[in-house]
Amino acid sequence: MAQPQLKTNLLNQPLMLPNGFSIPNRLAKASTSETLATYSNNPTEKHVRLYQRWAASGIGMIISGNIMIDRRALGEAGNVVVEDERNFTILQKWAKSVTVQGSQLWAQLNHPGKQSTKGLNVRTISASAVPFGPEMQSLFATPDEATQTEIIDIIQRFGRSAAICKKAGFSGVEIHAAHGYLINQFLSPLHNLRNDEWGGTPEKRRRFLMEVYAEIRKQVGQEFPIAIKLNSADFQKGGFTEQDSLETIQALADAGIDLIEISGGTYESGVAKAPQKASTIAREAFFIDFAEKVRKLVKIPLMVTGGFRTVEGMNQALQSQACDVIGIARIMAIEPDVPKLLLAGKNGLQSVHPIKTGIKKVDSLGVMEVLWYTQQLKRMGKGREPKPHESGLWAFIKSILRSGWGTYATQRARAK
């Protein structure tokens, strides 16, 4: 395949955030599920090894996989948890493995809410006691409604986790408010049925997010970058809409957020899969049309993740000024050195494609978009090369076995 001929490769341009913080180029590795932690939720040398490999590619910034703020609230077995400084030395080593090479490492902070597999946590909470739909109820328990005391505790935990990451040498933090996790649950009128100060109107539904942002800002200061990952919409009837998202973005911009990453979907509707028009497909990025609406509203730097296939498509998105940072994720699981080619104006050697097991019920849920790629990250965490053509069925079988054992091992670790 002939390589493109670009007059100017905009991916190489640095980006200055409003607070004066500079990102060395416009390529970012978006967050991916890794589950490389111990079953006591401690980061390991596998994180160092994987992120060191990614940073060697020359990518401008790397956003970590989910870092949970509470050991009692895990999204998956093997999540990293930062709630105190017990793992401070390995956190420092993890951050330095990236920053010493000139890239940046931003910590994505999260609370799963009800989006946690059955048996993993002693208690599951959400904005309201709303169960998943019938297709997902076998995997996820109906949550309890969070109490006022629990809400305040979670807000404070977000701030404390951010402060520890800053102290350890991370370059910034990203609040995960997308993909059906707890903050997204508070934002959604489908999942938030409250009529107190945390629900009932769009303003009250986003209060939890705004309080989380304010607490993080209080604990890290004005000069430390804070980003947010936010859905353009949930793609669920009665859920968080584009209009809700635009109003939330305006509130965040007014509050001083430094970077907004646009995504979409939930576990139930399908993560990062926006309804596609022919014009959007031609432009590659899933959420570029929504990014253009955001750009008309605010001037905050925007990151768009999902759908990019070519260096030309990435440059067209930057040239249009619809976004400022190009997020790539799954390709980094099968071709970790691809930023070297993209920054040189060339396309990658591998391509992302749907992963199928041949089991219709499994494939309809879209879980392989997480499970298969996670397997590749685990290989790199062990110092091995990814397998771009690994069987989807075999990866699924390994993931199910590991998940069952992981839940059991997490329960045992918690009991000690």
**Which of 100-104, 136-140, 275-279 has the least mean pLDDT?**
275-279
Q: Which two tokens stand for residue 339?
A: 């930023």
**What percentage of the chain has pLDDT greater than the value 70?**
95
pLDDT digits (tens, 9 = 90+) for 244-291: 999 999 999 999 999 999 998 777 766 555 545 555 555 678 899 999
Which of these, 315, 393, 384, lies nearest to 347 by C-alpha position?
315
Per residue in 330-353, pLDDT (tens digit) is 999 999 999 999 999 999 999 898
244: amino acid identity, one letter: D
If we measure between CA atoms, which residue out of 89, 185, 86, 194 comes closest to residue 140?
185
Q: Which fold has domain 10-415?
A: TIM Barrel (3.20.20)
Measured between alpha carbons, how far is 204 from 277 in angstroms, rounded to an integer? 33
pLDDT band at 231 (very low <50, low <70, confident <90, very high): very high
Tokens 């009991």 label which residue? 415
Give 1's pLDDT tier (boundaries 50, 70, 90). low
Indicate the SS3 state at residue 326.
Answer: strand
Does the pLDDT of residue 159 top 50, yes or no?
Answer: yes
Per-residue pLDDT averaged across 36-42, rounded?
96
**Mean local confidence (pLDDT), 203-211:** 98
Query: What's the rounded mean pLDDT across residues 18-31?
Result: 96
Q: What is the mean pLDDT of residues 208-235?
A: 96
**pLDDT given at position 403:** 76
Average pLDDT value for residue range 200-208? 98
Strand bridging mode 302-305 / 259-263: parallel
Question: Could you give the 3-state DSSP secondary structure of residue 261?
Answer: strand
Beta bridge partners of 229: 176, 261
What's the pLDDT at 405? 77
Contact 288, 304 (CB under 8 A): yes
Residue 47 has pLDDT above 90, yes or no: yes
**Residues, the chain, total?**
416
How much is the pLDDT for 38?
A: 96
The per-residue pLDDT for 333 is: 97
Render pLDDT for 114-131 as a digit per residue (tens, 0 to 9). 999 899 999 999 999 999
What mean pLDDT comes out for the span 361-376? 81
Positive or negative torsion for Cα 214, 261, 356, 388? negative
pLDDT at 7: 86
